[in-house]
Amino acid sequence: MHELDIISTLAGGFAAALVLGYVCHLIRLSPIVGFLVAGIVVGPTTPGFTADPLIAAQLAEIGVVLLLFDVGLHFDLHELGRVRKVAIPGSLLQCLGSSLATFLLMLWFSYSWQEAMVMGIAMSFASTVVVTRLLSDANELQTPTGNLAIGWLIVQDVLAVLALVLLPNLKGIEGVSWLNLIGIIEIAALKIAVLVLAVFFLGGKFIPKILHRIAQTRSRELFTLTILVIVLGLALISSKGFGVSMALGAFLAGVVIGQSDFSVRATADALPMRDAFAALFFVSVGMLFDPIVFFDTPSLFFAILAIAMIVTPAIAIGLMLLLGLQLKSALRVGLAFAQIGEFSFIVASLAKKYDLIPESLEHVLVAVSIFSIALCPLLQMAIDPIVSYARRSSKLRWLSVPRVPLSTLPAIAIDGQQSSDPISEFRTVVIGYGPVGRTAAKLLSQNGIAATIIEINPSNIESIRTAGHRVVLGDASHVETLKAAGVDSAVSLILSASNIHQATNVIQMAKLLNPSIQILVRSAYISQGQELLKQGADQVIAEESEVALAMAETILRNLGATAEQIDHQRDKLRSDLS
C-alpha cells in the first residue's frame, strides 16, 4: 500500500464528499446522497480520478466502528421505556414485515435463502440521519411525534446490532440440520452473553475510573486518545477474542461510556472523527455502485425500491393507526422511514465479507438507497393533502381522531434534554464552577432560577450535584456540550471562568444555537471587553474594573461620602472604564 495512494484516496474522497454533500444540502437533500454520489464519482465506473477502493474500504471500517459507538453512546433504556407501548411493538413488527417481504421477493427471484435473509435484514432499517433531518425540517423533532420516531429508531438500532452479531453465523450452514443450526446459534449467543457481561461488569467498573483519571489532566488530546483506545480495543477484542462482529464491541463501549458522567464529552470529542470516517464509509459504498444494475436487474431494483418506499412505510403507518395514533402523526413518522441508510450498508458490507451475497446485490442496495433517500422528502409533501382528504371523507374521518392521543405519551430525551422535564421558565447555564461560578449558581438557585453547570474538572461533579445543580461534564468550546446543557432553550449564559479558552467561539456557538440568549462574560482585563462584546456578549465584567471600583468605593466611604455620592461615582467610573 503506497503512502501516496492513501493520501490521494483520502483527499479525493473527502473533497468529492464535501462538494456533493454541500450541493445536496443546498437543494435540501440528505448529505448522505451527496456522499454516495461522491463515491460513484471517484469510483472505477466513472472517468477521471479513481480512488483506491481497498484503501477506502479499510478506512471506512473505522467509520462503521465509530457509528456503532455513537449509537451505543446515545442508547438509553429509560428513553425507550417512555414510548415503549408504540415504539417497541411497532418497530419490531415493521422490521419483521419489511424483512419478510424482501425475503419472499428474493426467493421469487431465485436467490438462495441466505441471500434472501441478508437482503431482508438490510431492508429493515431506515437511516437515522435522514429521519431526524426530515422531522427537523418539519419542526417535529422535539414534539411527541418526533419522540416516537426517535424511540422507533432506537429499537431498530438494537435489532441492527443483533443482526450484525448473528450474521457471520449464517456462513457455511446451508444444508446443516436444524439441530446443528440451533447449536451454532446457542454458541454464538453464549459468546455474546459472556462479552456483554464482561464489558458491563468489568468495563462499567474500570472505564469510568480511567476516564476520570485522564479527564483530570485537562488534556483534550489525551482524553480523545483514551476514547479511541477503549472503542477500538473493545471492537478488536469482540472480533478476535469472541468471534463476533467489531460492531458489538463498539456499541457496548458506547453504552458503558454513555451511562457515565463522561458521555457528553465523549460525544463531543468523537463527533468530528465519526462524521469524517462515516462520510468516507458512504463514499466507499458509492464506489461499489455499478450503473449496469439498471440493465442487468432492472426488475429487482424497482421491486426492492418499492419495498423501501411503499411496503415499509405502509406497514409502519398501518401499525401506528392500529395502535391508536392519529393519521397525521402516523404519516409523518411512517413516510420518514421510506428509505434505507447506514445500517443497510453495514449489513451488506459484512455479508459480502463473509461471501453471503454477491457484489451485484450490494450494487442494488446502493442504487435503492440513493433513489429512496432522494425521493423520501417528496413523500412528506403528500401528508397534508391526505389528511385533508381524510377529514372530508365520512368513511375516513375516524383516522384523524386519535384513540390514544400521542400527546399522552411521555416525551423522551433529545440531545440530552428531556422535553417532559419540569424546567424553570428562567434557566441559566453557568460555565465553570470556581468561586465565581459557585456563587452565581447559588444566588440563582436561591431565587428560583434553575442553573445547569458546565464543568470540565470531574472532581467537582459531586459538589455540584450536592448543591442541587444539574451538571454537564465537558468542554464548553464544543457545540455538543452546549446543546447537552440546554443552551438552545436557556434564557442566559454565564461564562464565569476568566481563563476560558476560546471564549469568543463559545459566545458565537451559543448565539447560533439560541440568538435570544443573554450572555454575561467574566474577563481578566478591560481590554478584552470590546472584542467580547463584538463577538456577541451582552455584558462583560472585567476583574480590573471591579477591583478599581471596590478600591474607589472603600476610599470614598472612609472619607465619609454618602451612599448617593458613592453610587454616582460608581456609575461614573463604570462608564469611564467600559
Q: Which tops the pLDDT comparison, 427 or 421?
A: 427
Per-residue pLDDT of 263-290, as tens digits, reads 777 877 776 777 777 788 778 878 877 7
313 and 236 part of one domain: yes
CA pair distance 269, 225, nearest whole angstrom: 9
Average pLDDT, integer, range 454-482: 84
* Residue 250 and residue 374 in one domain: yes
pLDDT in tens, 165-189: 777 766 655 555 556 656 666 776 7
pLDDT band for position 130 (50/70/90)?
Answer: confident
Cα 411 from Cα 421, distance rounded (Å): 9
In a shared domain, residues 95 and 244? yes
| More confidently predicted of 513 and 186 | 513
Task: State yes or no: pLDDT of 12 exceeds 80.
Answer: yes
Predicted pLDDT of residue 413: 36
Look at 434 and 146; give whichever has higher pLDDT.
Answer: 434
> Would residue 436 count as lying in a domain?
yes
- Nearest Cα neighbor of 471 from 435, 440, 502, 429 is 429
Q: What is the 3-state secondary structure (H, E, C) of 352-372?
A: HHCCCCCHHHHHHHHHHHHHH
- Dihedral of alpha carbons 253, 258, 264, 267, sign: positive
Are 435 and 514 in the same domain? Answer: yes
Mean pLDDT computed over 366-372: 85
What nine digits make up the cell of 127?
A: 437511516
pLDDT of residue 107: 93
Which residues, at least 6 apart from 558, have a Cβ–Cβ distance to it below 8 Å? none
At residue 533, what is the residue type? L
Asked whether the predicted pLDDT for residue 474 surpasses 90, the reply is no
Residue 381 sits in the same domain as residue 455: no
- pLDDT-derived band at 423 (thresholds 50, 70, 90) equals very low
Q: Quick check: 412 pLDDT over 50?
A: no
Burial category of 238 from C-beta neighbours within 10 Å (exposed 0-12, middle 13-18, buried 19 and up): buried
The type of residue at 32 is I
Q: Is the pLDDT of residue 419 over 50?
A: no
In a domain, 11, yes or no: no
Q: For residue 404, how many other CB atoms are within 10 A of its CB? A: 13
Residues 6+ apart with CB under 8 A from 197: none
Q: Under DSSP, is residue 428 helix (H, G, I), strand (E, B) or coil?
A: strand
What per-residue confidence (pLDDT) applies to 499?
Answer: 59
C-alpha 226/C-alpha 383 separation (Å) is: 47
Considering the domain architecture, whether residues 322 and 438 belong to the same structural domain is answered as: no
Question: By three-state DSSP, how is residue 470 classified?
Answer: strand
Greatest alpha-carbon span in the chain: 102
The mean pLDDT value for 440-454 works out to 84
Q: Is residue 36 part of a domain?
A: no
Domain shared by 367 and 439, yes or no: no
List CB contacts of 231: < 8 A, sequence separation 6 or more: 65, 66, 69, 249, 250, 253, 254, 270
Note the pLDDT of residue 181: 57
Query: Cell numbers at residue 58, please?
Result: 479499510
For residues 365 and 440, state if they share a domain. Answer: no
- One-letter amino acid identity for 152? W
Same domain, 132 and 220: yes
445-449 average pLDDT score: 81
Report if residue 37 sits inside a domain: no
- Quote the pLDDT of residue 171: 65
- Rounded to whole angstroms, the Cα distance separating 569 from 575 reads 10
Confidence check: pLDDT of 304 > 90: yes
Phi-psi region for residue 461, left (φ > 0), alpha (ψ -120 to 50) or beta? alpha
Residue 425 has pLDDT above 70, yes or no: no
**Do the domain assignments include residue 15?**
no
Where is the domain boundary, 365, 385, 405? Answer: 385
Q: How confident is the model at residue 516 (pLDDT cuts 50, 70, 90)?
A: confident
> Taking 80 as the threshold, does the pLDDT of residue 209 lie above it?
yes
- In this structure, what CATH number is given to the domain that contains residue 463? 3.40.50.720
- DSSP H or E stretch at residue 380: helix 359-380
Question: If pLDDT is split at 50, 70 and 90, which confidence band does 422 have?
Answer: very low
Considering the domain architecture, whether residues 490 and 364 belong to the same structural domain is answered as no
Closest CA to 368 of 341, 330, 395, 402: 341
Please check whether residue 126 lies inside any domain of the structure: yes
Average confidence score pLDDT of the chain: 79
What is d(CA 281, CA 64) in angstroms, rounded to the nearest whole number? 7
How many Å separate Cα 218 from the centre of its chain?
Answer: 25
What is the model's pLDDT at position 404?
52
Phi then psi dihedrals of residue 428, to 5 deg: -120, 140
CATH of the domain at 357: 1.20.1530
Which residue range forms the structural domain that includes residue 92? 54-175+216-274+290-385
Task: Establish if 134 belongs to a structural domain.
Answer: yes
pLDDT, residue 410, reads 46
Angstrom distance (rounded) from CA 495 to CA 431: 5
Looking up cell 429512496 gives 372
Residue 507: inside a domain: yes
Q: Tell whether the model's pLDDT for residue 416 goes beyond 50.
A: no
Number of domains the chain contains: 2
Q: Are residues 311 and 427 in the same domain?
A: no
Residue, of 420 and 393, whose pLDDT is higher:
393
Assign 430 to helix, strand or coil. Answer: strand
**Owner of C-alpha cell 424483512:** 99
Is the pTM value of this prediction over 0.85? no
Q: Tell me the mean pLDDT in the region 36-41.
A: 86
For the four alpha carbons of 54, 57, 59 and 61, in that order, the dihedral sign comes to negative
The band of 501, judged by pLDDT with boundaries at 50, 70 and 90, is low
- At residue 123 the predicted structure's pLDDT band, cuts being 50, 70 and 90, is very high
Beta-sheet pairing, 417-418 with 413-414: antiparallel
Looking at residues 104-124, what average pLDDT do you find? Answer: 91
434 and 381 in a single domain? The answer is no
